[in-house]
Amino acid sequence: MLHVRKTSRARWQGPASTGSGTLSLGRRGPDLPFSLRSRVGDEPATNPEELLGSALAGCFAMSLANLCEERGTPAESIDATALVHLVQTDEGFRIPTIELSCTVSVPGLADEVVRELAEQAERTCPVRLLYNADVTLKVEVS
């Protein structure tokens, strides 16, 4: 049984409203700046929700590529996007919905088969299984 461990880190300095931090990805970075202003405003930095979206889009794309390859027809390209909805509620901020969309090119596989494989990848990719949010999927076959 394969068991892999991956580490990411966060460092924060200052109060939530005016402070900032860095998110370190993997063993060698990169270090990405983040802040409350990048989370709820337009400061040019990242935030945890964007990283969650990237993780889901990446995991989904890799899972779909694997399913296509297992069918004997490798994908030519998979472009996946995750739109993460951060909503303030009476209980605090929540992520109720993530819109996952993709454009897929798999020459040699029927469009319906590609859509079925995409739905399977969305249901089974490990990162997706972490989320308590409703995830919707839109598939465009090119």
Is 45 in contact with 55 (CB distance < 8 Å)?
A: no
Helix (H, G, I), strand (E, B) or coil at 20: strand
CB–CB of 11/21 below 8 Å? yes
Q: What are the tens digits of pLDDT across the range 16-75?
A: 999 999 998 887 778 999 999 998 888 888 999 999 999 999 999 999 999 999 999 999
Q: What residues does each domain of the chain span?
A: 8-40, 48-141
**Right CATH for 48-141 from 3.40.50.300, 1.10.10.10, 3.30.300.20, 2.60.120.10:** 3.30.300.20
98 and 122 in contact (C-beta within 8 Å)?
no
* Entry pTM: 0.90
